[in-house]
């Protein structure tokens, strides 16, 4: 199998193609008060078994806890800063040109770093919040308080300034659709290095990936296992980890269903950031370079794709969000 353990981005930065997703691990979003122990255990386990790519975001409310572990590893000499690839993201309530620097500086302070390797616009939808820690503020009716003036082109200019200032090595997009990407590409002085979107065997994002390939934008897939903690299982569409096609391949080649699903995406040149707080699963999820799926296996897994209807992270759990002019999922891709 060809060496797919890392790729080189447009900037020359080296990106490990398997990273640890940390969405809501230890955060107050998922657990009141958060859990330092949960985050520390997950990050330590990941670093100990070889992960060097860690993905977080202001929204996840765990940057500070991740930063504590990174500081301990860096200060003790167990890892060098240049060996790490750390991603964080601008929250929705920071989607204004004048707020980008403030939010990135806050993230760097929490992470105890002088720069991040990648800074993403987390979502094209802007919100208005009186509290910097609340990305999705709600009104008295429970609807998201939207900033209807979001200017993605001005926002991208502010993202470029973060590279100029040395606070981010690369910049990119998350949850953007094809039209929004094209708009950015027409004005970008520093093109997006990464598009991070939901990708798994049920949602292969073929047209969006083809667009990114034309623009030399690397695709990073979140929820690469189909989000078993959130997806709705039916008789017709079981959880991907339980799908007979996946389990048959896993049993035949003596790997886990998760490893099959991750390898499937890697062989499509998609970077993956599976989320887990379980040390055993974290270790298994990065052990995907010792086997290769056959063309027949790839075709069988490709045939599971059912398009946008399988999207788990559709943002519709935020009441009223579709009213925003930059809501990304009005388009098929």
329 is catalytic: no
Residue 115 burial (C-beta neighbours within 10 Å; 0-12, 13-18, 19+)? middle
Whether the CB-CB separation of 90 and 102 falls below 8 Å is answered with: no
Which DSSP string corresponds to 186-211? HH-SS--SEEEEE-BTTB--HHHHHH
Of 330, 319, 329, 325, whose CA–CA distance to 148 is shortest? 325
Contact 46, 54 (CB under 8 A): yes
Task: Determine the Cα angle at 251 with ends 248 and 254, to 5°.
Answer: 145
Distance CA 298, CA 296 (A): 5
- Report the C-alpha gap between 130 and 123 in whole angstroms: 19
- Strand 14-16 and strand 6-8: the pairing is antiparallel
Write down the catalytic residue from 51, 60, 202, 318: 60
The helix (run of H) or strand (run of E) holding residue 259 is: helix 257-266
| Helix-, strand-, coil-residue percentages of the chain, each rounded to 5 | 40, 15, 45
* Residues forming the active site: 60
């Amino acid at each position: 199998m060809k060496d797919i353990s890392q790729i080189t981005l447009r900037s020359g930065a080296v990106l490990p193609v398997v990273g640890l997703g940390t969405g809501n691990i230890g955060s107050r979003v998922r657990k009141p008060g958060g859990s330092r122990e949960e985050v520390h255990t997950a990050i330590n386990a990941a670093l100990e078994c070889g992960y060097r790519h860690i993905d977080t975001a202001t929204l996840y409310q765990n940057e500070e806890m991740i930063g504590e572990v990174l500081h301990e590893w860096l200060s003790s000499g167990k890892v060098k800063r240049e060996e790490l690839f750390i991603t964080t993201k601008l929250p929705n309530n920071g989607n204004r040109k004048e707020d980008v620097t403030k939010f990135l500086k806050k993230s760097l302070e929490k992470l105890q770093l002088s720069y991040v390797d990648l800074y993403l616009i987390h979502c094209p939808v802007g919100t208005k919040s009186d509290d910097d820690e609340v990305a999705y503020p709600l009104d008295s009716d429970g609807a998201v308080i939207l900033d209807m003036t979001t200017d993605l082109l001005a926002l991208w200019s502010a993202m470029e300034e973060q590279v100029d200032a040395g606070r981010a090595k690369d910049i990119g997009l998350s949850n953007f659709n094809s039209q929004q990407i094209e708009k950015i590409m027409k004005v970008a002085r520093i093109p997006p290095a990464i598009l991070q979107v939901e990708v798994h065997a049920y949602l292969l994002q073929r047209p969006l990936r083809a667009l990114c390939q034309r623009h030399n934008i690397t695709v990073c897939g979140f929820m690469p296992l189909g989000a078993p903690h959130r997806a709705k299982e039916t008789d017709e569409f079981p959880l991907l980890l339980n799908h007979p096609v996946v389990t048959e391949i896993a049993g035949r080649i003596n790997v886990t269903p998760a490893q099959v699903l991750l390898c499937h995406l890697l062989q499509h040149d998609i970077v993956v950031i599976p989320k887990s707080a379980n040390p055993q699963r974290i270790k298994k999820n990065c052990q995907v370079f010792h086997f290769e799926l056959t063309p027949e296996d790839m075709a069988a897994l490709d045939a599971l794709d059912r398009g946008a209807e399988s999207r788990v992270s559709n943002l519709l759990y935020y009441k009223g969000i579709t009213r925003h002019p930059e809501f990304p999922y009005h388009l098929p891709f």
